[in-house]
Structure 1
Amino acid sequence: MINNKVLSIILGGGQGSRLYPLTEDRSKPAVPIAGKYRLVDIPISNCINSDIKRMFVLTQFNSASLNRHIKDTYHFSFFSSAFVNVLAAEQTISNSNWFQGTADAVRQSMHHFLRNDFEYALILSGDQLYQMDFNELIEKHIQSGAEISVATYPVNAKDGTSFGILKTDENSMISSFIEKPNSELIKGWESEVSDEMKAEGRHYLASMGIYVFNKQLLVDLMNDPSTNDFGKEIIPQAIGKRPVYSYQYEGYWTDIGTIESFFEANLGLTDDIPKFNLYDKNQRIYTHARMLPTTKLAGTTLNKAVIAEGCIIQASKIEHSVIGIRARIGKETVITNAYIMGSDFYETLEEIDKNQIQILVGIGERCNINNAIIDKNSRIGDDVTINGGPHLEDTETDLYVIRDGIVVVKKNAVIPSGFVL
């Protein structure tokens, strides 16, 4: 079987500054998504669904919660060779530096990979939302005779300026590469795409940051310490010298690189037919199995809402919003265009009384929350108004951050009653 010859390497990314403050005390792959999952669950689930069950997750910032999530979630048979291991940047006798880029992360971790028997390395990003059968990618890689394959995504000229654009020949072999071309430079970089993509004006192939390497080539390339990044150095330098294949993917895919893209991806799940299908039994998304009670609602009008388990909701209205696990929302509160991440625990009546807690975990009564992300374990008092939108300038305080008009209330923040933004 092909998948027994594949080792998956999931790149957790750097400090995740563009997703701050969601990455203030957690690594990017550990950021909660869709109310009950973590970002890292996406590539791991894609691997499991493709029967690729040997995975390393590389990270170096705030990896404690990621370690805990993976340890508590992904258990395989004692007699199986399957595993999901987190590798954080580590000082060794030969190297005392942090990871300097995606390729450097693989280079520094190579001694761990080589303890395993594999022929192909599948290199994935830890911050993307998509569902892909990697078996098809691996098979096309082998059939093409390539030493490297790059998963590519057809985009239009406007979106193409934000990606590395690849040009292919009639055999889907990559002949040239340009990094984030402007609107003038991108002309002439069209590649052959399907008729459906042509009809949508998507003539350009963007690199998805998903790669397949033949083992020996990867080992050889990692012996050169002058290159630190796959997308900016390794792949462009290999084109024309090595056979590099383009695997076109036409399903849903989005890069969760910024607060805005993260926000849009989550709210997109509330669509009648979401582009990212959480209900496909053949492409399940796996996560930590929690023994939570059912969600309880009282007097709430719901419209285009995704609600996770274990919530206690008395809001008057929730619309175009995602509500995460254990969320508590008080009476007469209105939630619109928001991602409420929920909480990691319940407060008991005894704890509330003993500690004289004035503002409970969750959202109080008569609040109005719009265009906002409320991170986990936040305490929002009564009569609070948070109205995000383009009228707000980017800013940061101890309690919240505003990015592109989206208000992000920080994890564990306490917003006093009567607060208005």
Structure 2
Amino acid sequence: MLNTNTLAIILGGGQGTRLYPLTESRSKPAVPIAGKYRLVDIPISNCINSEIKRMFVLTQFNSASLNKHIKNTYHFSFFSSAFVDILAAEQTIGNTTWYQGTADAVRQCMHHFVRHDFDYALILSGDQLYQMDYNLMLEAHVQSGAAITIGTIPVHANDAPAFGILKADTDQRITSFIEKPATELLPDWTSDVSEEMKAQGRHYLASMGIYIFNRDLLIELMDDKSTVDFGKEIIPQNIHKHKTMSYPFEGYWTDIGNISSFFEANLGLCDEIPKFNLYDKNNRIYTRARMLPTTKISGTKMSQAVISDGCIIHAASIERSVIGIRARIGKDSVVRNTYVMGSDYYETLKEIESNNIDILMGIGERCHIENVIVDKNCRIGDDVTIKGGSHLEDKETDTYVVRDGIVVLKKNAVIPKGTVI
């Protein structure tokens, strides 16, 4: 099979400032998603489902929780060559800097990669939500005789300036590429896309940040230390030097770049038929097996609610919300359009009494929580009202941040009884 000679390299990204405060104490790939997973579970699961079982995850910011998650999650047989290894930025005699960009991250870790036998390097992003069979992309890469293949997706004109946009000929060979084009340049960058994409107004081919490189070419390109980024330098400089192909993908894909896209991606799971299918037995999403108890719900009216394991819920109603593991929601509380990440552990009665804990972990009684992201281990007192919306301006306090009308409670935040936001 093709993939036996493929090495996957998952890029953990930079500081994740646009996802702050979710990235205040964790790296982007470690951000909890869909109530029980982490972002990094998505590309790793796609690899496992594609029978690619040699993976490196490159990271440099707040990597402790990511290390712990991967160490506790991905265990392969002793008799297998499969692995998921984390490579954090490290200073060496030959290099004393942190990763300067996506290509520089790969360059600094090349000495780890070349120890392995592989023909193709599959380079992935650690902060995207999608399900994809990489074998189909690898087959297209090999059959076309390409040196580089780029995963592409048609996007709307209003989204195009945020991406690398390319044009390809009828054989899918890339002829031109521009990184994050200005709006006035867009009329020159439309592509011939499928009828379905045309009907949706998606006329621009965007790079998904998914690349396949032939081994020898990747090694050659990494020798040039003047290039630090794939999208800004490596791809534009090489599309005419080496055969570079587009691999069009038309399934669900979203780049979790900021708070609003993260929020929408999570609440989208509450739809009757979600665009991201967690129930596809052929495309399972793997994560840590926690052995949690079942969720207990008393007297709660629910509509379009996604509830994870180990929750204790007495709320009046939960509507279009994702409730994460070990979440506790008190009596007569209303939760609407909200992502509650849950808790890392349960508090025992003994701990509550001995530590004189006044506000329990979770959401108290008679609260109204709407358009909110509640990070892990938050304590929300009784009679608290938090209503996000367009009426709120962006701001930051010690316990919460407002971004695009979404209120994000910081990890471990304590919200006193009766607070109104």
> Is TM more than 0.5 here?
yes
Q: 3-state DSSP class of the match of 2:357?
A: coil
The aligned amino acid for 2:42 is I
RMSD over aligned CA atoms reads: 0.7
Instruction: State the Cα deviation string for residues 325-360 of structure 1 (Å, max 9, x = none).
Output: 000000000000100000000011111111111101
Q: Write the letter of the residue equivalent to 1:141.
A: H
Gaps of 5+ in 1: none
Counterparts of residues 331-342 of structure 1 (less than 5 Å): 331-342=331-342
Alignment of 1:98-113 (within 5 A): 98-113=98-113
| Equivalence for 2:385 | 385
Q: Relative to structure 2, which stretch is displaced further, 126-135 or 202-211?
A: 202-211
Q: How many residues align?
A: 421
What does residue 172 of structure 1 align with? 172
Matching residue's letter, 2:87: L
Measure how far apart 1:160 and its partner are.
Answer: 1.5
Aligned 1:6-405 pairs, distance under 5 A: 6-405=6-405
Q: Give the unaligned 5+ runs of structure 2.
A: none
Distance apart, 1:242 and its partner CA: 1.1
Q: Equivalents in 1 of 2:93, 2:157: separation in Å?
A: 47
- 1:413 counterpart residue number: 413
Q: Secondary structure in 1 aligned to 2:159? A: helix
AA aligned opposite 1:330: G
Q: Which deviations, in whole Å up to 9, do the C-alpha atoms of 1:69-117 show, x marking residues without a partner?
A: 0000000000000000000000000001000000000000000001100
Aligned to 1:4: 4
Runs of 4 or more off by more than 3 Å in structure 1? none
Counterparts of 2:156 and 2:23, CA distance in 1: 31
Letter of the aligned partner of 1:272 in structure 2? E
Instruction: Give the deviation of 1:203 after TM superposition.
Output: 1.7
- The two structures have a TM-score, normalised by structure 2, of 0.99
TM-score (ref. length: structure 1): 0.99
1:61 maps to amino acid: F
Moved more, 155-164 or 104-113: 155-164
Distance 1:399 1:188 in 2: 46
Partners of 2:182 and 2:220 lie apart in 1 by: 34
* Residue 197 of structure 1, CA deviation: 1.2
Shift in Å, 1:198? 1.7
Deviation at 1:403, TM superposition (A): 0.6
CA positional deviation for 1:170: 1.3
Displacement after TM superposition at 1:215 (Å)? 0.4
Q: Secondary structure at the match of 2:196?
A: helix
Matched AA of 1:71 = K
Structure 2 letter corresponding to 1:103: A
Mean Cα deviation higher: 173-182 or 333-342: 173-182
